[in-house]
Amino acid sequence: MSYNLSEGSLEVIMNGGHYDKPIMQVLGSKKIQGSGANERFRLLVSDGRHSHSFAMLATQLNDKLITGELSDYSVVQIDRFVTSLLKNTGKGEKRVMIILDITIIAPGTSVGKKLGNPQTWTEESATSNPAPVMQPVPKPNLIPTPMSKPASTTGMNMNTSINSSLLSSQMTHPIASLSPYQNKWVIRARVMNKSGIRTWSNAKGEGKLFSMDLFDESGEIRATAFKNECDKFYDMIQVDKVYYISRCQLKTANKQFTNLKNDYEMTFTADTVISECTDDSSSLPDIKYDFIPINTIADKSPDTIVDIIGVCKYAADIQELTAKSTGKLLKKREVTLVDSSGGAVSLTLWGSEAEKFDGSSNPVVVAKGARLTEFNGSKSLSCLASTMMRLNPDLAEAHKLRGWYDNGGADMDIVNISANGEWLTFRDAESRQLGSGEKGDYYSLLGVITFTFSDNAVYKACPQDQCNKKLVDQDNGLYRCEKCNREYPNFKHRLLMTASVSDPTGDQRVTAFNEAAEAVLARPAAELGQLLDYDKSGYAQAFDDVKFKTFVFKFRAKVETHNDETRLKTIVMNAQPVDYKDANARLIKSIKTITGIQV
DNA sequence: CCCCCCCC
């Protein structure tokens, strides 16, 4: 098998000319920056005559390298690329090619060797001053009078003739080529996401800001507007619109705070110029989504950032809560999304997003960049400030889902991966050897309380909010907390109850901590504490009353080892009254499954 | 210059 490389194409491109879909061979690759989501790779490519390491892979193609699909010696067709002249510290200018689309014609393993005898392309091989090939900017009035100000707040040694030639040639730069070392550029970018205005006040001062995520075909970048720029640009910047943007400050992005694939971020300055691009936005890509089927979320790790699309099957009421760490009042709404994978997942919305959400018409919900969280063994998604949400977007996937849902999907049996464990019997739990794993196993069970142990079920706990340690009575009116290492005149009552639960297949000794025990006994811990101290028979009655009551239990099973003795510990996560409609539906379903009778 | 992204 022989491969026809596009001999000479590299020289044409390096000289700023265009070459349609050149065929080249990849001779090597190197990570040039970042890690994880911010990786960027440079390729050594050859056209058979020359080789050069000037090619950068657009980050959306990183996977091809990481998975090995794009291995050394691969022969590829470069379907789409842009080039950009970078000013290189001390070395004049340097052209880079950003590969936007690539077809692998032959994998490296089947080529197996370097084709031809390519010579390393050098600057000296360049012919004179080419016309750069870039997208023309259709003359918006955006570029300030060139050189009216001394360039650079970065302290770089800017060459003004290069600056003015870059400006006068009116071309746009790919976002992927932006760096702090080069501050004369214009990007043409679509707004993917825009934050609200946020204010801050700390030791260093106060102010306000908003930020936005921008992207073009080469990559994406976060941009932030502070104070004056916040006021100046907030109304102008609109999600999904395309803008020419120039004269921003670039700085290293703090990866701790961003999911965007860029090592840099932009800050608007007093010099920043932005103008909307109204004439031809079609050549800019739409927002890229990497949707995953809902039923695959269960296999992913907590903190994974995912793009999700689903029909809103239910939207819970808004809930208000106080964040323990900050004391901040929070509003949240949990929305259940379903898709044709047969999975359902809970997505948590926050703040104004939660307030304004209306799920009554079962909208298709898109969330780009939601975070997977795990709580009590079940996985769900949560919106971050950087998560982009859309309702009923004009997307092929959204229309397909709408069709699926409206034509039977709404009635499909779904598995809710955010539901707290599957429905099991005690026999199931035993035969599956639940609880042998590191984290324990969670399951739901319909069962009867057969016995409650009232002795020591109430204790005097440390009054500190976070501390529930049992106090030592000092017999002097003070109680000592060993954990806090201090004494208190007061305490709070908490519950720690042992009980027996039975279902038709077996029984189990279980432990219920405070809230779960309160739910079982239908009394607050403080009241039981009062009964214990002042009304012993009332106390005993409270524990008797609950015997032979049926609950829907959520259990956590975990095998624990104490003094060489292992036993299964089952903790009641919560106990709820039986929803008979729901319980009967499950019963009927399992009868159908067991008997094979479909009605 | 922000950097919060939460809760059970």
A439 Cβ within 7 A of any nucleic strand B atom = no
Rounded-to-integer distance, Cα A505 and Cα A361, Å: 42
Kindly state the DSSP code that residue A294 receives in the 8-state scheme. Answer: G
- Strand B proximity: list residues 330-369 of A with CB under 7 Å: 330, 332, 348, 350-351
Tokens of A91: 């070395």
- Strand B proximity: list residues 44-63 of A with CB under 7 Å: none
C-beta atoms surrounding A9 within 10 Å: 23
Q: Are strands A378-382 and A343-350 parallel, antiparallel or unpaired?
A: parallel
Contact positions of strand B to protein Cβ (< 7 A)? 1-8
CA of A315 to C1' of B7 (A): 17
Give the model confidence (pLDDT) of A80-91 as tens digits: 888 877 655 455
CA of A321 to C1' of B8 (A): 10
Q: Please tell me which residue lies nearest to nucleotide B6, judged from CA to C1'.
A: A323
Rounded-to-integer distance, Cα A214 and Cα A189, Å: 6
A234 Cβ within 7 A of any nucleic strand B atom = no
CA of A521 to C1' of B7 (A): 24
Would you state the pLDDT for residue A460?
Answer: 94
Rounded-to-integer distance, Cα A67 and Cα A78, Å: 19
DSSP E strand boundaries for A254-301: 264-276
Q: Please tell me which residue lies nearest to nucleotide B4, judged from CA to C1'.
A: A385
Would you state the pLDDT for residue A201?
Answer: 87
Q: Please tell me which residue lies nearest to nucleotide B5, judged from CA to C1'.
A: A384
Residues 6+ apart with CB under 8 A from A356: none
Residues 6+ apart with CB under 8 A from A199: A206, A207, A208
CA of A224 to C1' of B1 (A): 10
A353 nearest nucleotide via C1' and CA: B5
* Residue A506 zone, left/alpha/beta (φ > 0; ψ -120 to 50; rest): left
Domain boundaries, chain A: 9-128, 161-283, 294-413, 426-589
Would you state the pLDDT for residue A311?
Answer: 97
Would you state the pLDDT for residue A130?
Answer: 44
Q: Please name which of A464, A538, A548, A442 lies closest in space to residue A500, comparing C-alpha atoms.
A: A548
Query: Can you name the CATH fold of A426-589?
Result: OB fold (Dihydrolipoamide Acetyltransferase, E2P) (2.40.50)
A385 Cβ within 7 A of any nucleic strand B atom = yes
Give the model confidence (pLDDT) of A334-359 as tens digits: 999 999 999 999 999 998 889 999 99
A224 Cβ within 7 A of any nucleic strand B atom = yes
Longest dimension (CA), chain A: 101
DSSP A137-195: P---TTS-STTSS---SS-----HHHHHHHHHTTBPBPGGG-BTTB---EEEEEEEEE-
- Strand B proximity: list residues 390-419 of A with CB under 7 Å: none
Would you state the pLDDT for residue A92?
Answer: 65
Q: Give yes or no on whether A294-413 and A426-589 have one common fold.
A: yes
Question: Does residue A429 sit in helix, strand or coil?
Answer: helix
CA of A598 to C1' of B6 (A): 46
Class of domain A9-128: mainly beta
Would you state the pLDDT for residue A563?
Answer: 87
CATH of the domain spanning A161-283, picked from 2.70.98.60, 3.40.50.2000, 3.40.50.2300, 2.40.50.140: 2.40.50.140
CA of A293 to C1' of B2 (A): 34
Would you state the pLDDT for residue A414?
Answer: 83
How distant is the alpha carbon of residue A265 from its chain centre? 19
Q: Please name which of A72, A51, A42, A71 lies closest in space to residue A9, comparing C-alpha atoms.
A: A51
CA of A197 to C1' of B2 (A): 11
pLDDT tens string, chain A, 599 residues long: the values are 788 999 999 888 888 888 999 999 999 998 876 555 556 788 999 999 999 988 888 877 888 888 888 999 999 999 988 887 765 545 567 788 888 889 999 999 999 999 999 998 876 655 544 444 444 444 444 443 333 333 333 333 333 333 333 333 347 899 998 988 888 899 999 999 898 899 998 888 899 999 999 999 888 999 999 999 999 999 999 988 999 999 999 999 988 888 888 989 999 999 999 999 987 656 788 888 899 999 999 889 999 999 999 999 999 999 988 887 777 888 999 999 999 999 999 999 998 889 999 999 999 999 999 999 998 788 999 999 889 899 999 999 999 999 999 999 998 888 888 876 788 999 999 999 888 887 788 999 999 999 999 999 999 999 887 788 999 999 999 999 998 899 999 999 999 999 999 999 999 999 999 999 999 999 999 999 999 999 999 999 999 999 999 999 999 999 998 888 988 999 999 898 888 888 888 888 889 888 988 76
Q: Residue A518: phi, psi to the nearest 5?
A: -60, -40
Q: Please name which of A225, A163, A224, A219 lies closest in space to residue A189, comparing C-alpha atoms.
A: A219
User: Partners of A456 in the beta sheet?
Assistant: none
Q: Please tell me which residue lies nearest to nucleotide B1, judged from CA to C1'.
A: A226
CATH of domain A294-413: 2.40.50.140
User: Partners of A495 in the beta sheet?
Assistant: A458
Three-state SS for A91-126 is CEEEEEEEEEEEEEEECHHHHCCCCCCCEECCHHHC
Would you state the pLDDT for residue A354?
Answer: 93
Q: Are strands A565-576 and A506-513 parallel, antiparallel or unpaired?
A: parallel
CA angle A84, A87, A88 (to 5 degrees): 120
Q: Which residue has the tokens 């070395």?
A: A91
Q: Please name which of A401, A415, A411 lies closest in space to residue A311, comparing C-alpha atoms.
A: A401
A227 nearest nucleotide via C1' and CA: B1
Would you state the pLDDT for residue A327?
Answer: 78
A291 Cβ within 7 A of any nucleic strand B atom = no
Contact A360, A333 (CB under 8 A): no
CA of A223 to C1' of B1 (A): 14
For A76, A192, A220, A330, A333, the CA distances from A389, given in Å and listed in that order, are 36, 10, 18, 19, 14
Q: Which residue has the tokens 């996560």?
A: A573
A202 Cβ within 7 A of any nucleic strand B atom = yes
Please tell me the pTM assigned to this model: 0.66
Would you state the pLDDT for residue A108?
Answer: 92
For A126, A203, A527, A534, A548, the CA distances from A541, given in Å and listed in that order, are 95, 57, 13, 13, 14
Would you state the pLDDT for residue A136?
Answer: 45
Residues 6+ apart with CB under 8 A from A147: A160, A163, A164
Radius of gyration of chain A (CA): 32
